[in-house]
Each structure stands twice: as structure tokens, then as C-alpha cells.
Amino acid sequence: MPNRRTRPKLLTALLAAAILLAWVPAARAATPVVFWSTEVGKDRQTVIEYLAQTFTVFNPDVEVRVVGVEENAMAETLATAMRDGRGPDIVGCASNLVVAFCNRGWMDNEGAARVIDAVGRKRFFAGALSRVSLPDGRPCGVPFNGWIQGIWYRKDWFDEAALAPPDTWDALLKAARTLHDPAHGRYGILLGTRNDVYAEQVFTHLAKSAGVREFTPDGRVAFDSPATVKTLRFYAELARYTPPGPQWWRGRDYYFQGRLAMMFYSTFIMDDLAVASVAADSLTGHNFEELTGAPYDFRLPENTAMVSGLTGTRTAGYGVLHALGLVRGKDPARSEAARRFALFLFREDAYITWLHMVPGGMMPVLEDITDSPVFYRDAQGGFQKYRRRRLESILAGFDSLQSFEFEDGRLIPEAARVSADGVIGRMIEETLAGRATPERAVREAAERMRAIAAQ
């Protein structure tokens, strides 16, 4: 799903406060803290640098150096640095990476627990904490932010048709059927119908709500199960009510032009819905022959609702969590300084400044942030279109996050390799194209997973 950058408003106020303390002299040589972040974009690096500088004004005994590291290179780069004895003091990256680093003995579990307790353990969404915790409950890192996938739907159309929110398989299918009216240019639901990451994300959301696993904790393939076949059949049934042609995330254009009842999408969509200038890219006729363009619908934000938890045989959400990992080091002074910097990043003004780099794409893992009026003052003004209760409902998705790569407190590394190979996307494409039955497609996908696991 697309990404975008915005410059936060809080920087000026935050730095102004820091400047008031700039006269405080350093009593001794500053302790260095090296922070590696996968937020490598120039605008984001600028914001992080400002936050680091602000921290050092308040803490003149610490010097923070920010280093951008591409997410795909983080594991290899950190492995090399740890081998050479020059690793960073903190990493900021996807939570699965932090857990993987923890499994290699690189993360400071006690330090992470101390930061969590200092911030306030009860302030975190429990589901976010579980995604960074080992089976014995020890945290590998500190949950920081993330995005949540959900089903965004036209609440006004649902109300007119007396339909329940699409938070169960039955309600989802009923709504797709009821609101699908292609003769009048209206479609029931958007989901991926080609071999790509978007299709995999939608399928994963459905599959986890049916209890599907790719692998058992001991690494055996468990994908070829009745639950997987049932999920793929359900996916194919929903695909009957999606717009024509191979569909991907770009199909959101149908929603913005009043032609779609529901779509699976992440919280990245929030500023598109709320800000006309951001939505402009979805209001053209450039991407689909059937769409000719439309003006921005100023009532669309209030007529849109979202459910993040989907219930089949169980309730599951889908999304991506980012975390801070405190690197295990030999210098107690550096470890203590790193904890202080991590704690600073959770200070309300600093934390909201970070979140506002990508409104919607960086959602808070602290439940009480929605109580802060400042949170709603992002640069684009998008969050002002969302009432606190709506945001709380969206953020509740952090409590039900599930994935194939992290099960029962254990990282499943084979699942990441399966995703990189595009196994699920091919399975979906083969089924929807009629080249394979759901049973055969699932069987072939499981065989490919076994081959990948054996490599």
C-alpha cells in the first residue's frame, strides 16, 4: 500500500522549549548513543534528527547519532556490526526484526522491560506488547507505532440497506452481495485479484480469522488444511463482487468516486479520505477505463466507517508493528543513555511529532494518545475529521494483530521466505483465473512452502 511523507507541526514548539534550556553546560564528556532507524526518507530523517537534537538539549550528557538503514538491509547490516563489535545502541524497525534479533541474543530484554514500565505498561495495547514478547513474556523491544488493515465501508449505504457492520464473514458476504450493482456502476467490495502483496495481505487477514497457519511452531507446513481451502473459497466468492479486471490497491479509486461499498485497506488511507488535495490522485480517470473521474466528496469521511477485527472462527486483525530495540551492550553508561532516549521518544510532544511524519501510516500504540488535542493537529489537518471514538475503534485493531510470521510468541522465519516468494499471491491468481480448484491451489502452495522450508 502507498506511503507518503508529511512534516509535523510540533517541531517548532518542541524545539522552542528545548532552546530555553540550551544554556545548560555539559558537566562531562557526552555519552554516545547510536540510533539506527529504517525511516530513511529525507523528510523523516530530518524529523528524527530534530528529535535527537532536542533530546540532547535536555540531556547534554548524551550525544545521539541517527543512522538510516534500509529495512531490507537491516538484518545483514546489524549482523556485520555486531560481529565487528560496533553495533548501534537502539534500532527502530519492524517488530518481527526486533524479535529475530532478540532470538540471536542481541536485544536487551531487561532494558526494554524498564522502558515499558517507565512509559506505563497499561498504556500500551496488550496486543502490541504481545507482538514483541517471547513465549515466557519477556519483551524483545518496545512497541512504537504501526498501521492497521481494516474493511472501510460506506456506512450511509449500509444504514440505507439495514446492513450490520462487516465484521464477520457472514456480514461481509451479505453486504458485498446486497450492495453489488454493476448495472449501475456500483461494486460490493475491493480485494486483490492478481498476484501481488495486496492480495496476500487481504487473504492473510481472512485466513487468520479462520485459524489458518502456514507452519507449526516446529517448522512443519500446516497450510494444506480444510480451513485454508475454506478461506480460499470464501475469497473467490467475495471476488465475484469486486470491480472488473485484475484488481490491486489502486482499486480504491472506485471508493473515492462513489462506486464501491467496501475495501480492504490500511490506515494509510485516512488522510486520503479526509483531505481533498491528498485524495486528488484517486479522483482521476487515468487508472481504470470505467472511471472518468469525480469531484472530492466532502461527506465521504463522515460516511465512512472501518472495522479492523474480522471474525470467522475467531477474531483477527492484520497490520504491521514497528518497535524500538535496545541493543545489548557492554557499556552500562551507553545502555542507560539509550533507555533515556527511548523514553524521551514516548514523551507526548516527541511521540506525536514522530507519528505526524506519516498520519495514518504511523498509528500510536499507546491507548491514551487519542486523549491529546495535539494528536489531531497534523499538518494536513486529516485527523481533525476523525472523532476520538472512531480513532479508538480503529486503534483497537492492535489488540488482535495476527500474522503468519509470528505465532504464539514465536517467530516463524520460513513464513517470511514464503511471502518473498509470492506463494499466496500465485495461489489466489491461479484460483480466480480458473486454472486450479481451491483444493488443488492450496495443495500446490503447501508443496511450494515445503520446498522453501527445505532450502
DSSP structural state of residue 268: G
Predicted confidence at residue 131, as pLDDT, reads 97
The CA distance from 362 to 260, in Å, is: 26
Predicted confidence at residue 1, as pLDDT, reads 56
149-316+411-454 maps to CATH 3.40.190.10: yes
Choose among 4, 322, 7: nearest CA to 145. 322
Span 135-179, pLDDT tens digits: 999 999 999 999 999 999 999 999 999 999 999 999 999 999 999
Cell of 323: 518497535
Predicted confidence at residue 18, as pLDDT, reads 52
String of b and e for 164-179 (b: at least 16 CB within 10 Å)? eebbbbebbbbbbebb
- Spatial contact of 142 and 342, defined as CB atoms under 8 Å apart: yes
The boundaries of every CATH 3.40.190.10 domain in the chain are 10-147+318-400, 149-316+411-454
For the chain, percent helix, then strand, then coil, each to nearest 5? 50, 15, 35
The CA distance from 268 to 298, in Å, is: 18
pTM above 0.85? Answer: yes
- Spatial contact of 370 and 28, defined as CB atoms under 8 Å apart: no
Choose among 30, 91, 85, 95: nearest CA to 57. 30
Predicted confidence at residue 23, as pLDDT, reads 47
Predicted confidence at residue 10, as pLDDT, reads 57
Amino acid at residue number 181: D
The CA distance from 225 to 215, in Å, is: 11
Tally of CB atoms within 10 A around 217: 13
The CA distance from 306 to 323, in Å, is: 25
10-147+318-400 maps to CATH 3.30.379.10: no
The CA distance from 322 to 110, in Å, is: 19
The CA distance from 364 to 377, in Å, is: 14
Integer CA distances (angstroms), 279 to 308, 350, 382, in order: 22, 28, 11
Span 14-39, pLDDT tens digits: 555 554 444 445 456 899 999 999 99
Amino acid at residue number 72: N
Residues 6 or more apart from 259 whose CB is under 8 A from it?
A: 185, 186, 187, 243, 291
| N-to-C CA span, the chain | 30
Proportion of the chain above pLDDT 70, given as a percent: 94
Question: CA torsion 228→230→232→237, rounded to 10°?
Answer: -170
- Spatial contact of 341 and 33, defined as CB atoms under 8 Å apart: yes
Residues 6 or more apart from 45 whose CB is under 8 A from it?
A: 37, 39, 66, 68
Matching residue, cell 535527537? 52
Helix (H) or strand (E) holding 112: helix 109-119
Q: Which segments in the chain show pLDDT lower than 50?
A: 2-9, 19-24, 26
- Spatial contact of 436 and 195, defined as CB atoms under 8 Å apart: no
User: What angle, rounded to 10 degrees, do the helices at 226-239 and 423-432 form?
Assistant: 60
The CA distance from 19 to 62, in Å, is: 16
The CA distance from 53 to 67, in Å, is: 14
What are the beta bridge partners of residue 94? 322
The CA distance from 377 to 8, in Å, is: 9
The CA distance from 420 to 29, in Å, is: 46
Residues 6 or more apart from 32 whose CB is under 8 A from it?
A: 62, 63, 65, 89, 334, 337
